[in-house]
Amino acid sequence: MEQKNENSTDFILLGLFPRFSYPYLLILLLLFIYIIAFTGNSILILLIWLDSCLHTPMYFLLSQLSFIDLAYISSTVPKVVTNYFTERKNISYFACATQLFFFLTLGLAECILLTLMAYGRCVAVCNPLRYTILMNPKVCKQMAAAAWIGGSLAALIHTIYPMNFPICGSGEINHYFCEMPAILRLSCVDISVYEMVKFVSTIVFLLVPFFLILVSYNLIFLTVLKMNSWKGSNKALSTCFSHLTVVSLYFGQAIFIYMTPSSSHTPEQDQIAPVLGTIVTPMLNPLIYSLRNKEVVGALRKCMGRCGN
């Protein structure tokens, strides 16, 4: 099979579900979801920034999550839509590596951030008297920095290795963006060692955070069961269920993709899971956190009232 120099070759993105009979419907749906996600996350970030009542550790971390979702969906959807309307499917080696790096950085940072948010809620419910000490502004900024730095360093490693494997064939990526399993399918060398490295990294960045999140929520539920106040327990559970919805969507698709070898699932399965993680979840997050949260709804009403006056 013809082996190409990956540093001098363009890849070809076949797009979102290339065998689908009505691609324009997918593009319209994609644009609709993108507009909702972009608007929702932008409003949430703006409200948290403007309203002093939302200047708390939980909302600071939530603003980081919204920023990640905003960047997540913006790193893939505009390219998909542009390729469709211009009928140009090629992407340069450098652009592909850059897209993969940012995708992995955002994904890994979100894993760490969701874990830190679970820890914050655990402290708020289980040890409220020490909450202001354990979750002070300095600690929150350090948490956010750790998520971004940890995510970017791990992403750098998992960008350099796959992008330097020899590429065989036409360079067609059966995906709508440069995603790791789709790129690994193009390699014409044995990648079993790297698959093992990927598996270990998945344990560290997916299973360990997921386990810590479960531990945090188990402690929260045990504490809530001991509460005498129905109103207090209901508020705590409502907030936790919002977070658990996000965690289930995100970790479910990520574990499916990265805990299994690339050869064990089809190209279509490779696309369905990232669609949930990079397109659907960024749309749902602001809806979940705003509609189920009285403080956010109140801040939105105040902001609209100011604009009306």
Determine, yes or no, domain membership for 6.
Answer: no
Determine, yes or no, domain membership for 5.
Answer: no
pLDDT digits (tens, 9 = 90+) for 42-67: 988 988 888 888 888 888 998 999 99
Q: Which long-range contacts (CB under 8 A, 24 or more apart) does 213-216 make?
A: 213/114, 213/115, 213/118, 213/247, 216/118, 216/119, 216/121, 216/122
Instruction: Give the Cα separation of 194 and 197 in Å (integer).
Output: 5
Q: Chain-wide mean pLDDT for the chain?
A: 82
Report the number of distinct structural domains present in the chain. Answer: 1
- Does 93 score more than 70 pLDDT? yes
The per-residue pLDDT for 232 is 61
Overall average pLDDT of the 4-11 stretch: 58
H/E element, 167: strand 167-168
The per-residue pLDDT for 262 is 61
The per-residue pLDDT for 292 is 66
- For residue 20, the one-letter residue type is F
Determine, yes or no, domain membership for 39.
Answer: yes
pLDDT digits (tens, 9 = 90+) for 224-252: 877 776 666 676 676 677 677 778 777 87
Most confident of 93-97, 262-266, 275-279: 93-97
pLDDT digits (tens, 9 = 90+) for 190-217: 888 888 888 888 888 888 988 999 899 8
Lowest-confidence range among 7-21, 111-125, 229-243?
Answer: 229-243
Domain span at residue 119 reads 21-297
pLDDT digits (tens, 9 = 90+) for 163-191: 888 887 778 888 888 888 888 888 888 88
Determine, yes or no, domain membership for 38.
Answer: yes
Determine, yes or no, domain membership for 12.
Answer: no
Q: 172: which strand partners?
A: 12
Determine, yes or no, domain membership for 306.
Answer: no
pLDDT band at 6; cut points 50, 70, 90: very low
The per-residue pLDDT for 215 is 92
H/E element, 98: helix 93-126
What CATH code is carried by the domain that includes residue 247? 1.20.1070.10
pLDDT band at 257; cut points 50, 70, 90: confident
